[in-house]
Amino acid sequence: MRRFMLLLVAAAAVAGLTRATADVAQAASCPWMNAAQPPSVRAGELLAAMSLANKISMVTGGVRFRGENPNIGSPAYTAAIPSLCVPALVMNDGSNGIGDEQKLTTAFPDTISLAATWEPQLAQQYGQALGGEAFAKGVNVLLAPGVDIARNPLGGRNFEYLGEDPFLTGQLAAAMVGGIQSRDVISTVKHFALDDQETNRNTDSSDASERTMQEIDLPAFDVAAHAGAGAVMCAYNRINSVYACESPYTLEQVLDDQFAFTGFTMSDWHATHSTAPSADTGLDLEMPAGEKYYGAALQAAVTKGQVSEATLNGMVYRILCSMFRVGLFDHVPSEGQQAAATTATNAESIATATQIAENGTVLLKNANAVLPLGSAPGKRIAVFGPAAGGFGAALASQGYGSGHVPVLWYQPGIVPPFQAIAARAARAGDTATYSEGYNLQEASTQAAGASVAVVFVNDVETEGADRPSLEAKMGTCSFVLPFLMPNSCIYFGPNQNTLVSAVAAANPHTIVVVQSGDPIAMPWLEQVQGVVENWYPGQVDGNSIAPILFGDVDPSGKLPITFPGRLSEDSLQSAAQYPGVIEAGDSVGPHSLYSEELLVGYKWYDGEGIPPLFPFGFGLSYTTFGYSGLSVTSSGDGAVATFTLANTGSRPGADTAQVYVGMPASTGEPPRQLKGFSKLSLNPGQSQTVSIPLSATSFAHWETSSRQWVVSGGSYQIYVGDSSRDLPLQASLELPSSELGAGVY
Ligand code: BGC
């Protein structure tokens, strides 16, 4: 097959069409272009042919966006070496679509929406779509997925991540990695590690115990590394006082030794802080530009013997191996104007985007079955909120920063919610009106005259700044005026809480659609009948919410992040925990103490016995489900939980069955931890036997003294249900003590 591909590319070379032409023409002088050889052999051969200058070029990023960059629109690259048939590494952000300055790509829903689907298969499909669009735009290294854990609901980048739970995050991230790399594009798992806040992100030290890191922050990286991720990006922050990009604990002990990671590491943009210490610790590639610590500085260090050539060889070898393994030498994308002009977005991507946005939408409240909107024609639907209109939708449908896809100017086809609702209403014989909601009196009058009112509430979030509070605020962030307001947001629009209250006072059938990447406070919750969390749906926007409102699609999303119970709980962490405090003798920056240890997200609410507003794993459906007959049996070195899930309502729908494990009290673990899940679609009256495997590590905790996963002998509780707080089935399992070693998460 690969030989066949080479022939095809060779044919193109004759026509003089692509950059691959030059490489293939030289393949005769590049023995490592023989795709039949294993990646390790090819990398070894190529490395042996490289000069010192070639090697330095491989570990040093190039300038951004234009200039020498072979690819218009991407933020950085490493240079090709045509004489050795080495293609450029062209990098682009891509958690939520192929963004940065790219045009004609799909603005997918933000990753938190994918997390809310709880569908690894869809994550794989999403990865394929991302990888395909990346390749079409000339990109062969995608800077995604982001797998940092949502430690705090104010985190500015939570929308780019996969929620608060390491198990859910790991499963979805691994599937995304597989999908991206199936398209000959390296997936970069980021930000390694404990990069959980934007406040002081370049200087803050995340101070956590080894057990906390191993059980909360690192597992998703482990699973993604084992899924074959080609690259890992080390983070801006410090970890226990050491910069993440030169941290011996995370880079050497964990990534290399424990995870046996076979890819390469790159720094986050300007996150390198040294030459020899970084190289010796295992930072393989300085990004974005090597004017500082790698490049000439590294070359000088090697020449002077401060960094050994063996170390440099190891760095280059890891990059080359990854490139060969993922297929970058054998499948070279187009570049320059040709890539820039390519339309990467396509019907399949948009279908995937729609599926993610729909399946990730979470129905939080549905009093008196206000949803779905009834099928009797003649309803008057009053829609409110800037986010539902054209310009507002372009601002409100994504988070900001490097994960933003520039939909406002460049991309085709954002579908504003009002447009989609009005079109669907017309088909149903209903009518729809729209008001942004600045004039409260006018909004009240419109609401009073309607059969049902739908208010869009938006929260604007960005890389580079945490949220000031849990209160939802409409606005826009740095990408509009990046030089005037870097890493910050401006807020405008009506006071959304006042708008909801005014509309709800005028119309008892009020539904709020929230578009956010994080939990928001809902002071009006008791005043409205319906609440739907639509996250940031990207360009499909209204096309993902209208079908839910009208019942064409059953809402099946489940929260990947806990919604705090009281507004004051945005300060549920002390200042020492977040945003951190200055420590005597440390002039670099503050320290954020992870003193909550394992009690992150729902584990904190469970551990403290505090009711959240909406718990992790929660989400309603238009139908109902019943759970029965749990049995748990040992299987291999783990177990399997078997039970029956039934659709007990009158409509088809999907539910995500969740399995939580409670470990013996002596382990000091949180009361319950997610260790398995499965989403099933069922027709009314249909039931299905579900078997969910639980690996040995489902029952293990990290023992710091012996640096490994251990199972304590005793009784383990297995809970099954469809949210972390609704677990009707329970069984127990006796397990003997055992030691599992370090590398088996
Ligand atoms: C972000 C990364 C991103 C990089 C390149 C950094 O500021 O932290 O997530 O991949 O920029 O745009």
Pocket of ligand 1 (CB under 6 A): 75, 93, 143, 190, 268-269, 402
pLDDT tier, 7 (very low <50, low <70, confident <90, very high otherwise): very low
pLDDT (mean) for 252-277: 97
pLDDT in tens, 392-422: 999 999 999 999 998 765 555 789 999 999 9
Beta strands in 653-706 (DSSP E): 653-662, 673-682, 687-694, 701-703
Of all protein residues, the one whose alpha carbon is nearest to atom 12 of ligand 1 is 402
Q: Is the peptide bond before 193 cis (omega within 30 degrees of 0)?
A: yes
Pairing of strands 362-366, 380-384: unpaired
Average pLDDT over residues 662-691: 98
In the reported structure, the alpha carbon of residue 453 is separated from the centroid of ligand 1 by a whole-number distance in angstroms of 40
Which residues are catalytic, by number?
268
Residues 95 and 126 sit within 8 Å (Cβ to Cβ): no
Task: Report whether 463 contacts 202 (CB < 8 A).
Answer: no
Nearest Cα residue to 82 out of 131, 128, 133, 19: 19
Report the atom number in ligand 1 closest to the C-alpha of 146: 9
**Least-confidence region, from 402-411, 492-501, 720-729:** 402-411
**Cα 158 to ligand 1 centroid, rounded to whole Å:** 14
Place of tokens 């749990």: 630
Cis? peptide before 145, omega within 30° of 0: yes
Residue 699 — very low, low, confident or very high, per pLDDT cuts 50/70/90? very high
| Burial of 707 from C-beta contacts in 10 A (0-12 / 13-18 / 19+) | middle
Residue 23 has pLDDT above 60, yes or no: no
The DSSP call for residue 578 is: T
> Could you give the CA distance from residue 221 to residue 190 in angstroms, rounded to a whole number?
8
Which atom of ligand 1 approaches the CA of 190 most closely? 9
Share of the chain above pLDDT 90, in %: 86
| pLDDT value for 336 | 85
What is the rounded average pLDDT of the residues 170-179? Answer: 98
For residue 675, pLDDT beyond 50: yes
Coil, strand or helix at 218: coil
Around Cβ 609, how many Cβ atoms within 10 Å? 7
Beta carbons of 615 and 605 less than 8 angstroms apart: yes
CA of 268 from ligand 1 middle (Å) equals: 6
**409: Cβ–Cβ under 8 A, 6 or more apart, which residues?**
none
Nearest to 709 by CA among 641, 638, 642: 638
**Cα 146-150-154 angle, rounded to 5 deg:** 115
The separation between the first and the last C-alpha atoms of the chain, rounded to the nearest angstrom, is 35
Q: What confidence tier does 25 reach under pLDDT thresholds 50, 70, 90?
A: very low
Per-residue pLDDT at 24 exceeds 90:
no
- List C-alpha distances in Å: 92 to 46, 330, 402, 405, 595: 25, 20, 9, 11, 35
Nearest CA to ligand 1 atom 7: 269
Q: Give residue 183 CA to ligand 1 midpoint distance, Å.
A: 22
Reported for 303-311, long-range contacts at CB under 8 A and 24+ positions apart, including other chains, are: 303/52, 306/275, 306/276, 307/275, 307/276, 307/279, 307/280, 309/52, 311/279, 311/280
Amino acid making up residue 334: S
User: Per residue, what are the HEC states of 259-283?
Assistant: CCCCCEEEECCCCCCCCHHHHHHCC
Residue carrying the six token digits 């149903």: 428
Mean pLDDT along residues 101-109: 93
Whether residue 478 has pLDDT greater than 90: no
Mean pLDDT of 113-121: 98
**Per-residue pLDDT at 568:** 56
Q: What is the pTM of this model?
A: 0.95
